[in-house]
Each structure stands twice: as C-alpha cells, then as structure tokens.
Structure 1
Amino acid sequence: MPERYDPQQAVAPSGGGGAMDLAMSEAETLEKTPGGPLGTGPAGKPRSLWSDAWFQLRRNPVFLVSGLLILFLVVISIWPSLIASGDPLECHLSKAQEGPEPGHPFGYDSQGCDVYTRTVYGARASITVGVCATLGAALLGSLLGGLAGFFGGWWDALLSRIADIFFGIPVILGGLVLLSVVTSTTVWPVVGFIVLLGWPQVSRIARGSVITAKQNDYVQAARALGAGNGRMLLRHVAPNAVAPVIVVATIALGTYIALEATLSFLGVGLRPPTVSWGIDIANAAQSIRNAPHMLLWPAGALSVTVLAFIMLGDAVRDALDPKLR
C-alpha cells in the first residue's frame, strides 16, 4: 500500500535546517520578546509616537545620564539643605578668599561666604528661571503660532511681522535696557524678559508644524465630516504638531539658564540678596588670580547644568524624529 503524503515532511525534511526552520525560529523569538519587534507594543500592536519615543529614550544612555543629572539638580534646587546645611548669606570677612578646609570643601569667596553652600543654593534661582521662562515662552509661542498657522490670513501676517520685530532686538542689549530700570530682587523680571524675547522662536516652530499637520489626510477627512475648527485644532492638529515645540523648548531651557547667568554677571539680572551662579561668577571675576576656586565651582555648576539640558534636548529630538534614528 503506498505511503500517505505528509506536508510537514515535505516542508521540513528530517535533518533540520533550511529557510523554513530559520523563519520559524525567528518568529518564535519575536513572540517571546517583550514588547515585540521595533515599533510594536507588548501585544504586537503598533506603538504611538509618544510610546515609541519613550521606548527609544529608555535605551539612550545620553538621556539616562542627563535625566539623572537634571533630577539631582531639581531636587537640590527644591531642598538644598539636603546636601548643604549652612546659610548662603552667612559670611565671615576674616576668612575672605581662603581655600578649602574641613567642612568647607570649596573654600570662601571675597566676602567670606562658603562657596559650597552658595553653589548649592544657586541652583534654585537658575532652575526656577529656566523652567518658568521655558514654560512661558512655550505656552505663549505655541498658542500664537498655532493659531496663526491654522487660520492663516491677516492674523498670520500680523503675527509674523510682530515676531520679526522681536527677532531684531539683540538679547543682551535688550536686557541691559529693559532690566536696568527694574529694582526688584526676585526672579520674575528676568523670567518676563526671557519670555518676551523667547516666544517668537517657539511661535515660528509651532506655526510651521501646524501648517504641515493640517494638510494631512485625516484632518481633511475630519473637515469633510463636519468637524469644527476647535475640534480639529485640539483633537487632530495640536497633538501631531507639538513634538517640534517640545524639542525646541527642552534645548532652549539650558540656553535660558545661561542667559540668566549672563544678565546677572552684567548686573541687570538677579541681584543680591538672591543667590545666583551669575552673581557669584561676577564677584569672583575680580579675584580670579588670587582665588580661582571662587570662579571654578559656580562656573562649573553652570556649565554642567546647561550641558545636561542640551543633551536632554538632543535625546528627545532623536526620539521624536524617526528620520534621525
């Protein structure tokens, strides 16, 4: 009696090997891999832009290092007493410009204040200015630029001309003119100035992103189905246009911190008794030859902070832009 034909033996003959075995092995590996292949979720479903970006960020060492450093800076800016028990305003002229000693690892400044304590407490003003100015510029620029890009017409033309006027104002010169008449010692005049000159950049990015998003097919389909402008803007356009704004705002945060230190160094930013890295750098510049430690530590803290936020912005940009992977 003739043998019965077995399809499995025809596809996978005894002895193993072959393309079919390799394909079946790879399929089993993908099934056992948590999260599935690149671009899919735990059940093999496609991930959204944000979940896929988070998937990429968690595997980026630049994001992890910068994120941990920023988290540390935020914590000490909120609770500086965790690592510095002294008073940043307590000074002893008898110890002016002295070097490190036990209990005071960074030495003393020209007024006899502890450099370590002032460096730790200086993070609060810089982080506050950077975060508040970034949020203000991002919200104002996104609102104005998004509306201009969505509706167009005379509103778009008017906003573009206003933004061009602000682009033509030199930042340092504008700070010297506008902040020189302010007598407040709080951070809010500096925050307001940075927002005033920072929103046009975000507005231009948001405008271009909204113009690109509103031309997509799903937006046209929503319009054809009778969706109103508010629904289309909030449900379809804004969620798909906000990624470039987040990238620009994250990178700009480090720039704003450096700008605050520059204005404080020139004497028109934050003023004593506020503790700021820019103020300490300005005070140390006159004694850099005799006591370089006065300049080294606040300037180093400022540089590391700005670098951390720029690195974070680069990592976020790479994660949100598939073309850069």
Structure 2
Amino acid sequence: MPELATATDVPQWTEAPPRGRRRSVWRRLSRSPLFYVSAALLVVMGLMALAPGLIATTDPQDCDLGRTLAPADAGQWLGRDLQGCDVFSHSVYGARASLGIGVAVSLLTGLIGGVIGAAAGYFGGWIDGALSRITEIFLAIPLLLGASVLLTLFGTSGSGAWMVIVALSLHGWPQVARITRSSVLEVRQQDFMVAAAAIGCSRFRALVQHVVPNSLGPWLVVVTTNLGVFITYESIISMLGVGLRPPTISWGQMIHDAQARFLEAPLPLLGPALFLSVTVLAFILLGDVVRDAIDPRGSS
C-alpha cells in the first residue's frame, strides 16, 4: 500500500532563497541521471495522455468479441481483453484519466493543505489549535477507506471522475497541511523574520515575501511525490469497482476487468499494471531527486 509523504521525508529551508540558491538547485538537478530518466518517462506518459492517437496502434473502441482474450501478436503487442479490445491501445488511452486525476488531486490537496498548514503555522494561537484538531480528525480516517465509502455512497452518476477527485482530495490534504505547518514554524524562527518584524514589516508582507517562498521547498517535494501516490490510489479504487466507470478508460478499471481471468490470460492485467508501475516510479524518483536537490545534506 503506497503511503503519502510525511514530515520526515521532506527538507526544510532555513534561509531566504536568493536567485543563486535557485541556480544551485537546478545545477544539482541537472547533474542527476535520475532526473533525466524520470523526466523522460513522464514526458512519454504525458504525451500518451495528451495525444494518445500518436502512440496507440488501434482505436480503443475497435473491439472484436470474436477475438476475446486473443494472445499477443504483431498487431496487438499485449493481446486483447475480455471485450476483444487491444490491451496496448487501451493502456495508452487509460493514461489520460489516471494521470489527469492524479495531477488534479495532487494540486487540490496541495492547495488545501498548503493554505491550512500555512495559516496554522503562521498565525498560531487558537487558529493553530483549531486547524490542527481538524487535521487530526481527517488523519484518523484512512485515505483509501474514507474515499471508498464516500464513492460508494455518492459516486453514482457519470463516469465518476469528479467524485474520485473530490473523494481523494477530501481525505488527502491533511498530510500536506502537517508538512506545510512544520515548514512555516521553522521559517518563523529564522533571523530574517525577526529582522523583518524589527523594521516594521507587516504580517501580510512578511507572509508573502518571506514565509511563502521559504516554505515552498518542502511543499513542492510532497506534492510531486504524492502525484504517483494518488495515481495509485485512483487505480486501487477503480480496481475495487467504486471508482471510474465506462466509457472512461483507466488503468485501475482495466485491472478490475482483467483480474477474474488472470490465470487464463495474464496480459490484459499485466499491461496496464506495467504502465501504472512505470508512471508511479517516475514520479517517486522525481520527488526524491527534487528533495535531494533542495536539501543535499539530507541525501548524505
């Protein structure tokens, strides 16, 4: 079971990030072979999501029930599924829904968790206490369980894409909030924050010019890493039969449809599982590389 990033998985910035620091971060990124490997994989997956017709060998709706579970051949590299559809083409077209939901959920949880965590860490007092208690309530509910229950109760219309995004976002933001709060608390204790207060800098200006830029490092790392995690959760939910529904194509839905006949025809399951594994691995590698570039001391 994949896990969301925790506070110990991300670096802490302890000083204002000048332009030279950003250049040094990019220099460390450009020297990492894993950065280029993960970026190349994600470019291919992104191309599959944006223009699947350039990669797919056939139309995903071109199905032939007379060739149900047909083995792989020169025209169908991964064979055909229960409906006689080309598994490779379906896997290519499935990237759009799986990647789209993963990116949408990661951005939403990053926005919600970032705002709540920043407010709790910066203002402190009763605001911190109230927001922290709310965060702990949501943290007590396992993400997969909470999202599955919500989808079972309300995910009954359309393809289910929007409900999957809402369900995962509603239960996925607390981890981001906790990491952002920790980062903001760290920044508040730095000397440049004391100097900003001494020269009469307003709290809003200090928040915008100092706290937010210095807290973006850990936030960026956790959002990047969680991209792969949320893609996995979407696939698990769809595999359980409570996520996306036809005519939407996703990797999890393909795995759900193929698992009953796995021993007879393994390729309809292994095909989308391979696409899913490579994509998640690429996001995790990218998150690790970004973390090490931001805080090289953490990789030693």
Q: Tell me if both proteins adopt one fold, taking TM over 0.5 as the criterion.
A: yes
Structure 2 match to 1:121: 93
- In angstroms, what is the RMSD of aligned CA positions? 1.3
Structure 2 match to 1:193: 167
Q: Which amino acid aligns with 1:234?
A: V
Structure 2 match to 1:147: 119
Give the Å deviation of 1:87.
Answer: 2.2
- 1-structure distance, mates of 2:115, 2:150: 25
Structure 1 match to 2:237: 263
Structure 2 match to 1:167: 139
Structure 1 match to 2:68: 96
Q: List structure 1 segments (4+ residues) > 6 angstroms apart after TM superposition.
A: none
Superposition pairs of residues 207-226 of structure 1, within 5 angstroms: 207-226=181-200
Q: Which amino acid aligns with 2:23?
A: S
Name the SS of the counterpart of 2:291 in structure 1: helix
Q: Please list every run of 5 or more consecutive structure 1 residues that lacks an aligned counterpart in the other structure.
A: 1-45
1:135-180 Cα shifts (integer Å, max 9, x gaps):
1101111111101100001110011111111011122221221001
Structure 1 match to 2:130: 158
Answer yes or no: is 1:182 the counterpart of 2:185.
no
Q: Which amino acid aligns with 1:296?
A: L
Structure 2 match to 1:82: 54
1:183-235 Cα shifts (integer Å, max 9, x gaps):
23142211111111111100011111111111111111111111111100000
Identity of aligned residues (%): 47
Contact conserved, 1:107 with 1:293, CA < 8 A, in 2? yes
Give the Å deviation of 1:295.
Answer: 1.1
Give the Å deviation of 1:47.
Answer: 5.7
Structure 2 match to 1:70: 42
- 2-structure distance, mates of 1:138, 1:176: 21
- Number of aligned residue pairs: give it: 280
Superposition pairs of residues 1-325 of structure 1, within 5 angstroms: 48-180=20-152, 181-183=154-156, 184-325=158-299
Higher radius of gyration, 1 or 2: 1
- 2-structure distance, mates of 1:221, 1:312: 36
More RCO (CA 8 Å, sep 6+):
2
Contact conserved, 1:175 with 1:268, CA < 8 A, in 2? no
- 1-structure distance, mates of 2:279, 2:234: 13
Name the SS of the counterpart of 1:242 in structure 2: helix
- 2-structure distance, mates of 1:306, 1:169: 24
Q: Please list every run of 5 or more consecutive structure 2 residues that lacks an aligned counterpart in the other structure.
A: 1-17
Contact conserved, 1:122 with 1:277, CA < 8 A, in 2? yes
Name the SS of the counterpart of 2:261 in structure 1: coil
- 1-structure distance, mates of 2:285, 2:44: 15
- 2-structure distance, mates of 1:86, 1:153: 60
Contact conserved, 2:32 with 2:289, CA < 8 A, in 1? yes
Name the SS of the counterpart of 1:48 in structure 2: helix
Name the SS of the counterpart of 1:174 in structure 2: helix
